[in-house]
Structure formats: structure tokens, C-alpha cells
Structure 1
Amino acid sequence: MPQWHGWARSALLSEPPPLEAQPIWHGRRLMHLALRLQDSNVPGWDASKYAQIVAHFVSSIDALVSSSDGIETLMLEAMYYVNDGKLEEAFLRCRRAMSIAQLLGLDRAGWTNNTILRRLIFGDRVMSLELGVAHFGVTNYGSLDDVDPIARLERSHVITATRIIERNLRMMNTSPESTRAETQGIDQVMKKVMMDLPSGWWSASTKKSLSTLTEDKAMEETMKLISQVNHYWLLMQLHQPPIILDLCCPVSSGTNSYSRTVLASSCRQVLSRFLLIRKYHGGGLYRGADPKAVSASIGLLLAHIDGHRDSTDNALEHLRPQDMDLIRDSLDLFKALSRPNSELSALQSLLAIESKAAGGTDYMFSTTTEDALRLTLPYFGTMSLIPISSGVGGRETESLTL
């Protein structure tokens, strides 16, 4: 998706329109304004009316968006709706932009050779994973062998996300064992990608706060942290399904310890970077990171709940205290960022379930019990987390989307 390019870009909003300005020029400018207002969080400054004007008078008309400027405007709209928590609306605009790009032939050189197309297709992959649907069909990714490492990383994220989606779709109709080799293969590719970056690039532990940096340096660091979040979030998406399937059985299979360890580790990395980013950027422009952090909180708790079923062989137990503190810190920030109360309440319930699991109560997923905490899991549907001993859930039904 579009990314920040420095505050100087905002000067575009104060420039008068050229005499020959087409409606799409005004639409794109209004979407930039809507995003700025969305980020400001100033009471009384309503960004939605500008987004509605663009949707009604510009982006809904095919003839006005059938250009590179039209594609960018649709991308800005998608970003706006992601930040507004309206994933389906963002998804539809992203798909429309990709269809227009194909009709214009902009993809002939390869989707990942063009920065805008690369981020557009990655946005499609992320939203497909979050919604649990198939990806937009693409065969020509292009080649980035001669460009900078960050562009290669972004390209690898597109291809990795595509493979994870295809694996998930197959996993819905086959046994977990049939996709194990595929999961391992993707995992190996992601390891190699990490090693291609310079030494020290992945470190975030020394960055206590972005507020100690200059504004330009803080934004540069933010972009790097977002790339890291994307990588670890994909690693989380790769290893979470095997744990979900393991929790569908009353007894742990004992064959998913590697996936459980990697899932927990990747969730930690997502959450630690989320805290760095959102403590500095409290506005609406970075709300797209919030659902990833919520998913990471759920994933980390599920990893521990599954691990507790291994009793004394649970390798995650040594890191449990710091993991629970990390989740509580994230919950505090979720509250400050005004995440939905139902989501916060369900996360608190999942924390309580993990605590009971640590005390010796085994849990599993059930598709038949409704009197329990219900999780909506992409590609797997809605399931309840129940204690195995009783076969029933708690007194109160809550739901949470992974």
C-alpha cells in the first residue's frame, strides 16, 4: 500500500489545481486530505465526508479511475478504509485497482518491479489472509535481482504470502501432514530472506522509543519497522494453522513443537515492534498495524495454551511471564487507541483461559459448543475454545476475530 514519503508531500494540499486538472486529480487530493485528517485525531475534523465525496463522484466512475492516477486514488481509499477498520471495503478497492492495472497493461513488466504495483499486490495478499479468501491471480511477478535489499524483501513478502494462502486453501480440504513439507519449504525461504539483509538490520531491541530520534529519522525507522512487522506477521501466518489444527484434537500430536516455537517467537517480534510504532504514531495513519498486533496477541496465547498440553515438555514455559507482560502492555495500548470494547473483553477472556491452561486445565477447539469464547479464524471459520475435562465452555459467550 502507499507509504509515507516525508512531510514535504503535504505541501501538495496547499498547491492550487492546474487549469487542466481532471476530476481524478481532485479525488486524489481529497483522499490525501482525508488521510491527514484521519491521522490528526482532532475532534470535529471529519475525514469521512471527504472519503464519501471521492467515492460518490470520482472512484465509483470507471472512466475516471482507468489510469495510473486512478489506481493511486483507489489505493489511498483502501488505506483510508483499512485505517477505519473497514477491511472489506478496502479489499474491494484494492481488487478493483489491480483489475484496472491489468487492463492498462501496467503488469507486463512484472507486478513486483513497480513500487506501487508491488505494494498494491502485497495489500491484496495481506487482506486475503485476514479475510480467509483466495488471492488475486497473478503469474508475472517480475525480477528484482538487481535492486536494493528492501525492494527484494517486499517482493519476497508478496510471493511468500501467495504461497501461504495457497497452502491454507489446500489445508482446508486435506490432512495437516499433507502440507507439512510445504510449510517447511516456505519456512526455509523466509530464513534465507532474513539473511540477505545487512547485519543489524533486524534489531529492534535497542530502540527504546522513536521519540528520541529526529522526525525524518523516526519516519525512516518506522518504515523499516513496518517491513519487519510484515515479515514476522507472515511467519506467524505460516505457523499458526498447524497449531490451530493441533488444538482441534483433545490430545496434542507432539509433532508441531517447531511451529509452536516459531509462532510464539514471531508473535513476540510483531508485538514489540507494534509497541514501538504506535507509542510514537498515535494517530489514525498507522491503524493498519493494530489488527496485526491483535492477531499476534491471539497467536501468542494460543501457542502457550497448546504448549501447556505438553506438561513438563513445554519449552515455552520459561518465557511465559515476559510473554504475558508483553500482551498486557499491548492490551493497555489497544485501550488507549480505542480498539472495540468487545475485542478487548475477548482478549481478556483468552488471557484468563491461558492462565487456567497454565494451571493444568487442557483446552481444545470445538465447532459444536457455543457457550464459550468463540474465535473467528481465517480459512477455518468460527470455533469455540473449551476445557477438555468438562466439554463445555464458560458462562459468557464472547467472540474474537484472529
Structure 2
Amino acid sequence: MEDRRKRSSGDLFETCSAAETANAPKKRKVRKGTLSCWECKRRKIRCTFAALTDAICDGCRSRQTRCISQEFHDEVALPNKKVDRLSRVESLVEQLVNGKERSGMLASGQPGQGNTSAYTSYPNDTQAGLHQPTGTDLNDVDRALIEAWPTQHDLDIILSVPVGVSVLLHGVICKSYSDYFSGAFPSPRQVLQLPSKNSHPVLVARRLLLLASFLQGIPPCFAGQLNGLSSDYKTIMSRVFDIATRLVTSNDELVSSLEGIECIMIESMYLNNAGNLRRAWLANRRAMGMAQMTGLHGNTKSSSMFLDDETRERIDPDYMWFRIVCTDRYLSLMLGLPQGSPEDMFASLHVLDNCMPVERMERLDSIAGGLILQRNTAERTDLAATHKIDKLLQEAAESMPPHWWVGSNLALVAQNNGNGFEESVRLMMQFAHYHLLVRLHLPYMLLPSSINPSYDYSKLTAANASRAIITQYIAFYDIISAPAYCRGVDFIAFVASTTLCLAHIEARPEFENNVTVFRSLQHQRLRDRGLLERLLEIMKRMAVENSDVVARKISSILQPLLDIEDNSFKGSCYQICTAEAEQESHCLGKTSEDSHELRIQIPHFGTIIIERRPQNDTVSQTGNANSSFLQTVPSQGVDAEQAPSWLLDSIPGLELDIEDWALQGVDMALFSNLTGQN
């Protein structure tokens, strides 16, 4: 976080020339550990960041004030032309956002008109004290957005980095994949160009958001090629994203068009790729709400939906609605939140018959995701519902031929052409499909097979799907250097690794003569153990080389789980239970010295405890010699049929410290699913 504070307060200083830097103000001496900005200090509140790459703290972002570290004097001005230019942008942004005239405007409804003067102006409503934006307001917004665009020199340096344009398309494709797989593929230079003069602010904001996504997708190993930039590339990334979201996507009157909805979708993907799944979920929910108001959910189509004729070439309203629903269900599953729309009109028989195979599979998978969310809100262990969804996932998988499921040349992902994009789609869809299988069968992992032998089917399916995810993940990271869209895959890998580890702990029988189908998993133990250890190495490397908080959190849980799995293999038996939250908010996965107990502290959820118990305690507790090695038991003093009261507390706000909430609630949703608590 300290590095991030230095970046956020020092981004202007990096633009100064060597001569001008000499005149810059010196850093103040601050007490060790002081991280808050001046504004947060004055308000005596905690200074937090929603994402590692943010240059502005959450408080200043919500207050829309300047974020200046205490390392520098408050409200200091630098004698620098580039700083003056940035100051003018900041001043204009503050005037537009905080001042008497708030930007925002609906299009006139004439497609193809990009001139801001063509948009209708409304008179002030003096009686109500309201101000409707005028054409002048839109011009001011447009000018502020263009001012934030990097110079041609900086843009040339940015575009010299080998990042494929597929990074810009992930999660925001709003038309058939066939147009991208076989058609001409645009280069990053073609995509990252400002629209024509006097274009609508939404069209300019879209390019800024795409630029932010492109910068986000630059692998750390190529950062050295960007040394010639006037500012650090992460500073540029945060600045253009911040201005586009503050001036455009946060203004409902500006984003009522398909282009505006597309901008919110790009914002959501940016936040998802940054690891901030909760804000991504909120942004996508805003896109869903705006799409519903536009009528996309009801297959409504009108020329007034478009700001520009060229948009028709990349956005099909029906595909846009499906993409929004698909993203919503993915994020809702990851976070354990309810879905926004239960309808599946995008997967009617007529639609599926006209889809290419990969699109058919994607839409069937999306239906399955929605059904899993519905089941989880009712009865997680409803076997009839589970088997129905399982059959649907089998049908979805059969949409693709066998060779599609076999690993191919992953290096194609880095290519900037249709083949590269097709390969990236294949990878992401396989991750998503296997993740759905894990989520579907996860609630049965810790249930004893003596209650129902069919639980073994669910346990094996979850273990096999987890193995497929980890195998694909390792192969991907051994070849590709962390493209932007891999952050979501990191969370999926966390779910898979935890599930597979618990599966092997559960597969150890209490008694040698207790032979079940699930016990056959032991034949895969050594290979699975090798995969998990390799995954742990990747996470530890990411944590060190990239200062990756998410990877550090994952490794802090996976390492002790592997220790417990090893003890389980040697004959120890364990039970899992929950307890109220401990005082130490930064407690991660922590084991006792003899590995008898693992305590996983999840902020605002509580503590998951996996502890060793004597073997002779098993029969006395269950009265059944066929009980599993890993049992779930209720918290002390809590009715097994009732979730603890501390689970009913509200989830914290968006301004929670990234150190406390690095896994964004993915861990909470995972262990809630395992322990059967909503």
C-alpha cells in the first residue's frame, strides 16, 4: 500500500523534466507507517484503496477531491507545463463534478450525429433548483476527457508493447464470435485512437476506458519498455479510468445509449481484472439496469439506442443483453450474491439453433449458472435439482467436439489475430465450464457418503473439475505472462485448489475396510499433490515479483491446507467448523506449530477452523463407522440448523482496506457453500 500511496501522490512529479524537478517541493518527513492523504487526515478517517493500481484513495474518489499524500505539502503547485496541463484537467473535472453545473445529457435520437451541438438543451428548472445539462456542458465534458488523453509520444511508446487487442475484447463482446474468429482483426493502434472532433463524450470515454484496459493488460515483464513515458504507465491508466468514470459512466443521463452501456461494461471488466469483484458486480448491475430501462431484456430494438452509426458494426442489442447477464451470473457465483435477472430468453430453442457451437455452449452454461444460484438460495443439497443442472452442463459440453477440449498451442493467445482471440475464448470458456461443475457439486464435498452414496458422484465430479482447472491454469501461466483477464482465473484457481485439497483430505477413510467409490481418488493423489504444489509456487512468485496481495492471500491458505492434507495421508483425521471473527483482522491461513489446526480468518465472516480430532472420537460423535475423515460440525453454542448471527451482519462497504478484503468475498462464498450456510 505504501508503494501505491507514493505513486498516487507522485504521479505529477514524474512528468517533470530533470531541470524542473529540481524546483519541485521536497518531501516532508512523516512518521513511519503514515499512509493517509491530507483529506482523509482532516476527516480522521481511514485512507483506503479499492485496487492496487488506483492513484486516488476511495475517500477522495467518493468526495471528488484531490488526493495528496502527507509526504508532500498540502495544495502545493509545481512550476511545470505538464503539471499545469494536468492541473487544468483536474480543475475542470472538479468544476464539472462538484460545481453548479453537473454534466449529463440524453442524445437527440438522431443516429450518426457525433457533434455535441446536435444534442438537445433543456432550460433550467429554477423552481426545483435543478440544472439540466446544456450543449456547453457536453463540450466541457468532452474537452476534459480529451485533455486526459496521452500525448502522441506517450501513445507511441504504449503501443510498442506487444499486447494483443483481445485484452480489450474480453467480457465486452456484443456480437457473434464468428465475426472475430474469421474476419479482419483491428490492431491496438486502430482501436486506441480518439474519435472525430466534437464527438459525443460517451464515445471519447469509451476510448479512454479501452486505453485503461490496454495498460492494465501490460505484463510486468514489459514494464521496462515504458520508461520513456512522461508518467508511470499505471498513473496514466488510473488517471484516464478515473476521469472517464467520474464524468461519464457515473452520469445516468449520459449512458442511456448502447454506447453508454458498453462503457459501463468496460468499466466492470476493468474492475474485475483489477481484482475488485464487488465493484465490478455493482458496475455490471448498473449496466443491467440501464439495459432494462432501454428495453434490451425484452428484445426491443430502435435506432434511437445508438449515438453513432459505426456502433451497429460491433453491438447487437441481443448479444449485449446476454453478455451482461452472463457477467452478472459469473460475479454473483464468485461472491455468493443473488443474480440480477433469472430470465433465459437468450437461450430459447430458436436462438440456440442459430448459434455457432461455442456460443451455444456459453449460453447453456449461463443457464446452468443461473440455476445453481437459484438452488443455493433454496436448498443446496437438493439432489434432484443438482442432477438436472449436471445433465444440462453435460449437454453444454457436448456442443463442442472432443478435440476442442484437448490442450492446444496456448502461445496463440498472445497473437493479435482471429486465431489468438479464438484460443483465448476457448481457454476462458473451459475455465468457466469447469468452475460451474465445482460450484454445482461443492455443497456435497463434506457430507458423509453413509447418508447417501450418490454424494460420491458429486465429490468425484468436483475433484475432477478442479484438477482440470489447475492443469489448465499451470499450463497457461507457464507460457503467458499474466494478461489482464487472468485475475478472474486466479480466483477460480483458488476455488479449485481449495476444493481439490479438501477432497483428498475427505477421501481418507476412517477404517481400511470402508471402501467407497470416492476412495479411488487416492490413486490420483501424487499427481494432484504435484499440481497443487506447482500452483502454490506460481502464487508465491506472483506475490513476490508483482507485490500481488491476492496471490499472497491464496498462498497463505493453500500452504497450510497442503500440510493438513499430508497429515491426513499419514493417518490423522480432521473436522471443520466455524467460529466468530477473531480480533486480528489480518490473520490469514494460520496453523498451529504441530499442524493440528488451521484457522482461516475471513473478514466479516468469521474463522474457518480445520482441526485434528482423535480417531476414537469419531464413532462417539456419529455412531457410524462409515463416517468421513473430514466432518463439518456447528460452532460451539450454535444451533446446527441456524446460521450464526455474525453471518447475518452486513457486508462492509466498498471502502474496506484491500489488505482486509483481497479475496473480495470469494473465500466467504466458498466456505459458506462448503459448510452449508447462506
Under TM normalisation by the shorter chain, which class is it?
0.7 to 0.9
Matched, 1:28 2:206: yes
Matched, 1:97 2:293: no
Match of residue 62 from structure 1: 252
Match of 2:411 among 210, 229, 254: 210
Match of residue 147 from structure 1: 355
* Alignment length (residue pairs): 384
How many angstroms apart in 2 are the aligned matches of 1:387 and 1:255?
27
Q: Alpha carbons of 1:284 and 1:139: their partners in 2 closer, same or farther (altered >3 Å)?
A: closer
Matched, 1:45 2:253: no
Matched, 1:387 2:598: no
Q: C-alpha offsets along residues 280-329 of structure 1, whole Å, 9 cap, x if unaligned? A: 14232322211111111111111111112465531110001111111122
Equivalent residue letter for 1:335:
K
Gapped runs of 5+ residues in structure 2? 1-170, 225-231, 301-315, 583-596, 618-632, 634-661, 671-678
How many angstroms apart in 1 are the aligned matches of 2:291 and 2:466?
34
How many angstroms apart in 1 are the aligned matches of 2:452 and 2:570?
21
Match of residue 337 from structure 1: 542
Q: Is the 8 A contact 2:187 2:416 kept in 1?
A: no
**SS of equivalent residue, structure 1 residue 364:** strand
Return the structure number with greater helix share.
1
Q: Alpha carbons of 1:311 and 1:293: their partners in 2 closer, same or farther (altered >3 Å)?
A: farther
Q: Alpha carbons of 1:360 and 1:37: their partners in 2 closer, same or farther (altered >3 Å)?
A: same
How many angstroms apart in 1 are the aligned matches of 2:442 and 2:606?
14
Q: C-alpha offsets along residues 233-257 of structure 1, whole Å, 9 cap, x if unaligned? A: 101110111114x27x9x8865521
How many angstroms apart in 2 are the aligned matches of 1:377 and 1:200?
43
After TM superposition, the structure 1 = structure 2 runs for residues 241-252 of structure 1, keeping only pairs within 5 Å, are: 241-244=443-446, 246=447
After TM superposition, the structure 1 = structure 2 runs for residues 218-297 of structure 1, keeping only pairs within 5 Å, are: 218-244=420-446, 246=447, 255-278=454-477, 279-297=479-497
Match of residue 525 from structure 2: 320
Q: Is the 8 A contact 2:194 2:204 kept in 1?
A: no
Q: Alpha carbons of 1:187 and 1:310: their partners in 2 closer, same or farther (altered >3 Å)?
A: farther
Equivalent residue letter for 1:386:
E
Q: Is the 8 A contact 2:362 2:396 kept in 1?
A: no
How many angstroms apart in 1 are the aligned matches of 2:454 and 2:510?
11
How many angstroms apart in 2 are the aligned matches of 1:118 and 1:9?
26
How many angstroms apart in 2 are the aligned matches of 1:167 and 1:230?
18
Matched, 1:188 2:396: no
Q: Is the 8 A contact 1:222 1:277 kept in 2?
A: no
How many angstroms apart in 2 are the aligned matches of 1:212 and 1:91?
26
Q: How far is 1:118 from its partner?
A: 1.8
Q: Is the 8 A contact 1:34 1:51 kept in 2?
A: yes
Tell me the percent identity.
29
Match of 1:170 among 378, 382, 390: 378
Larger Rg: 2
Deviates more, 1:11-20 or 1:32-41: 11-20
Match of residue 274 from structure 2: 84
Match of 1:135 among 323, 339, 350: 339
Q: C-alpha offsets along residues 344-396 of structure 1, whole Å, 9 cap, x if unaligned? A: 12210111111111111122221238773227599x9853222233999xxxx
How many angstroms apart in 1 are the aligned matches of 2:475 and 2:185?
20
How many angstroms apart in 1 are the aligned matches of 2:400 and 2:606?
37
Q: C-alpha offsets along residues 40-77 of structure 1, whole Å, 9 cap, x if unaligned? A: 14272112222211221111110111111111111111
Q: Is the 8 A contact 2:413 2:423 kept in 1?
A: no
How many angstroms apart in 2 are the aligned matches of 1:282 and 1:213?
11
Match of residue 159 from structure 1: 367
Q: Alpha carbons of 1:135 and 1:214: their partners in 2 closer, same or farther (altered >3 Å)?
A: closer
Match of residue 396 from structure 1: none
How many angstroms apart in 2 are the aligned matches of 1:215 and 1:93?
28
CA RMSD of aligned residues (A): 3.1
Q: Is the 8 A contact 1:252 1:309 kept in 2?
A: no
Q: Alpha carbons of 1:106 and 1:87: their partners in 2 closer, same or farther (altered >3 Å)?
A: same
Equivalent residue letter for 2:338:
A
Q: C-alpha offsets along residues 77-136 of structure 1, whole Å, 9 cap, x if unaligned? A: 1111111111110000010000111000012139x9833322221111111111111111
Equivalent residue letter for 1:336:
R
Q: Alpha carbons of 1:318 and 1:69: their partners in 2 closer, same or farther (altered >3 Å)?
A: same
Q: Is the 8 A contact 2:344 2:367 kept in 1?
A: no
Q: Alpha carbons of 1:346 and 1:7: their partners in 2 closer, same or farther (altered >3 Å)?
A: farther
Q: Is the 8 A contact 1:210 1:276 kept in 2?
A: no
Equivalent residue letter for 1:360:
G
Match of residue 568 from structure 2: 357
Q: Alpha carbons of 1:301 and 1:368: their partners in 2 closer, same or farther (altered >3 Å)?
A: same
Equivalent residue letter for 2:572:
T
Deviates more, 1:1-10 or 1:116-125: 1-10
How many angstroms apart in 2 are the aligned matches of 1:263 and 1:377?
26
TM-score, reference length from structure 2: 0.52
Q: How far is 1:38 from its partner?
A: 0.7
Matched, 1:303 2:503: yes
Q: Is the 8 A contact 1:252 1:310 kept in 2?
A: no
Gapped runs of 5+ residues in structure 1? 393-398
Deviates more, 1:25-34 or 1:267-276: 267-276
Q: Is the 8 A contact 1:366 1:385 kept in 2?
A: yes
Q: C-alpha offsets along residues 167-193 of structure 1, whole Å, 9 cap, x if unaligned? A: 111136xxx3xx011111111121122
Q: Is the 8 A contact 1:282 1:337 kept in 2?
A: no
Q: How far is 1:209 from its partner?
A: 4.5
**SS of equivalent residue, structure 2 residue 217:** helix
Deviates more, 1:28-37 or 1:357-366: 357-366
How many angstroms apart in 2 are the aligned matches of 1:37 and 1:333?
23
